[in-house]
Amino acid sequence: MTMTLPPNSLPVTQIEKARGHVVVEEPGRRIIAEETASGGSALPWGDLAMFLRRVIDMALADYVVAVEHKGWVFFDRGLVDISGYLLMFQFWKANE
């Protein structure tokens, strides 16, 4: 079973992690940490298109791994949230 949690659900993910459930950290935060550490530009305040592409790729890879898990998997944001960001930043239209 997979579940995407709403924004600001960090306490929920911490509780679930403490209960022994798998929690997938938000792709955006992981990418920001990687890009900042490496001096990269795929950041929301830098190359937004590249950042969103990396977020989508990471979220898809996370999902592929998660569906193989036999227990509960909690996503601290995921593909549904990313589609909302794409709409918000007008990278694609909902009817396409």
Asked if residue 31 is part of any domain, the answer here is yes
Question: Which residues form the domain of 24?
Answer: 2-88
Asked if residue 96 is part of any domain, the answer here is no
Q: How far are the Cα atoms of 34, 37, 46, 51 from residue 31, in angstroms, in the given order?
A: 5, 10, 12, 8
Per-residue pLDDT, 41? 96
Q: How far apart are CA 35 and CA 37, in angstroms?
A: 5
Asked if residue 17 is part of any domain, the answer here is yes
Q: How far apart are CA 5 and CA 10, in angstroms?
A: 9
Q: Identify the sign of the CA torsion 24, 25, 28, 32.
A: negative
Q: Give per-10-residue mean pLDDT for the chain (96 aa).
A: 56 67 86 96 91 91 89 78 74 53
Count structural domains, the chain.
1
Asked if residue 60 is part of any domain, the answer here is yes
Asked if residue 39 is part of any domain, the answer here is yes
Asked if residue 46 is part of any domain, the answer here is yes
Per-residue pLDDT, 38? 97
Whole-model pTM: value is 0.73
Asked if residue 94 is part of any domain, the answer here is no
Per-residue pLDDT, 4? 56
Per-residue pLDDT, 36? 96
Per-residue pLDDT, 3? 54
- State both tokens at 59: 């979220």
